[in-house]
Amino acid sequence: MGKIFIKLGHIFFWLFIWMIIFTSSFVKKTWGDIDLAQFLFFVQTDLNGVDHKLVLKGLFECIFIPVIIVVLFYWVFYLMAKFNKIMAGIFLLVIDCFLVLSVFLCVENCFSSYVSFEKINFYEKNYVNINQLEQDLPRNVIVLFAESLENKDIQALSEEVKLDDNDAIKFDNLTEGYAQRWTQGALFSAFTGVHIHYLSEYLRYALYDKVKWGSFNPEMDIVASHRVGQNFDFYIPNIRVLSDITKEHGYQNLFVKGGTGSFSGTNNFLYAHGFEASDFIYYSKFKGWPNYGKYPDWWGIDDASLIQMFENKIDELDKTKPFFAVGFTLDLHFGTNPFYKDEKSLLISTIVNINNFIQWFRKQDFYNNTTLVIIGDHKRMGGNVKPGGYIYNAFFNLPEGLKENLNIHRTFNQIDMFPTLLEIMGYKLPLHKAGMGTSLFSSSKTLAEDYSYDEQVKIFNKLDDFYHKLWSTENIFDNETENAEK
């Protein structure tokens, strides 16, 4: 029995190592460089709505192939042991050493970040808490997040089709910030000015306590904190959320998304912060539309349908009240889009759809008191995606006061959209900052202007007590303190 358990243990060890190696390879060639925070976020959130082909490919490469390899290797070992047990033992030893070395190299090559247990107080020095906000005349804001839209994609098609954005203000360099290289990470940062790497933070605190004290601190326990999975409640009283602020000030909130509501915990986040079920329109509510269910394996609905639904829902809003409307396109999402025959037609259609929305916006009665922001959520994903270039951004019909002495030569991340949108809506920010973000209408440097992406990775992969406290359920701020710079 002992020998059987040893052999079974060895088999499962091999299988585990081979799965890590092939998973690392699959992640690298599928998405390119990703952060550990991004990987941990996806493995623990609801993946309902993921492209089925991607799931099947992942299962084949990360599970089926390792199983076949282990079976073959043990078959070879069994044959060798029949003739020469010493050679069979050497064979096992060589394979074990190879696997242990390979797994470290593969994981290091796959993830662009590292795990650090060093402590830092960066958030405490730079985080700006906002409580009571004063607002001038409320202004409507429409934000269209264009999935993975980069400037280089638009420029590549400039001879055939052009974006109708000559009347927009476009800042030079919108680039990805730490924990903003995927849709939910970008959305959360744009709505809060805070990075969403809570899972890696809780995990490292748990390990830190285990090493330091010999046991887990219940307050840091991942499961007990409700910081994982589709049941994550997003109860974050210490983090101000843009949609909460607008709701408190009488705004109508609207969110239209072409994918499933539960993917990446989007519905949990929105329902916890200023949105109701009727305010959040997602895939299943497109039932009856021409392309609904046409390709059930795809992430969701096509952009032409989504933008039409977005326009209809905005039309239905009460125009006597201010509104904050957000739309999320999908056509450029990672994967092979079945709605288009090739990459070129996909990009052309994306630009045409956005142009149609811009032209619709200009004709609306509410135009004079409304700003439209069209912005990519992150860069395009994939191991074969060419590096370089910046994310698209355009601000249509900004308030006149914000255009005075405006410097468009800015480098910024999604966290800077939080204070920027607040100032567009007419809110007064004495420091022109909110969370970790800096308004683009200020002269202060943004985080991205002070720190490159690699430098941000090194900073935010360290343990930060203040960041951890932000995610606690106990209020850490004095309610009477306004715009307190910590």
Choice between 116 and 337, residue whose per-residue pLDDT is larger: 337
Which pLDDT score is estimated for 473? Answer: 79
pLDDT at 50 over 50: yes
Please tell me the predicted confidence (pLDDT) of residue 13.
82
CB atoms within 10 A of CB 481: 12
* pLDDT value of residue 441: 97
Q: Side chain identity at 482, as an amino acid letter?
A: E
Question: Which pLDDT value is given to residue 43?
Answer: 64
Higher per-residue confidence, 114 vs 269: 269
pTM over 0.75: yes
Give the per-residue pLDDT at 136: 87
How does the average pLDDT of the chain come out, rounded? 85
Residue 40: the pLDDT is 67
CB 177 within 8 A of CB 456: yes
Tell me, what's the pLDDT at 482?
Answer: 42
Q: What pLDDT is recorded for position 296?
A: 84
The residue with greater pLDDT, 221 or 341, is: 341
Q: Region 440-444: what's the mean pLDDT?
A: 96
**Percent residues over pLDDT 90 in the chain:** 49
Give residue 170's pLDDT band: very low, low, confident or very high (50, 70, 90). Answer: very high
**What pLDDT is attached to residue 324?**
98
pLDDT above 70 covers what percent of the chain? 83
In this predicted structure, the answer to whether residue 446 has a pLDDT above a threshold of 50 is: yes
- Give me the pLDDT at residue 80, please: 80
For residue 76, the model assigns a pLDDT of: 79
Q: State pLDDT tens for residues 266-318.
A: 888 999 999 999 999 999 999 999 999 898 888 899 999 999 999 999 999 99
Is pLDDT of 483 > 60?
A: no
| pLDDT score of 433 | 97
More confident residue, 80 or 459: 459
Lowest mean pLDDT among 90-104, 258-272, 331-345, 407-421: 90-104
Most confidently modeled range among 184-188, 189-193, 208-212, 219-223:
189-193
Can you give the pLDDT at residue 484?
Answer: 43
Say yes or no to pLDDT of 49 above 80. Answer: no
pLDDT of 381 strictly over 80 = no
In this prediction, residue 224 carries a pLDDT of: 43
Residue 147 pLDDT > 90: yes
Give the pLDDT band of residue 197 (cuts 50, 70, 90): confident
Query: Domains of the chain, with CATH numbers?
Result: 2-110 (no CATH), 122-485 (3.40.720.10)
Higher pLDDT, 94 or 223: 94
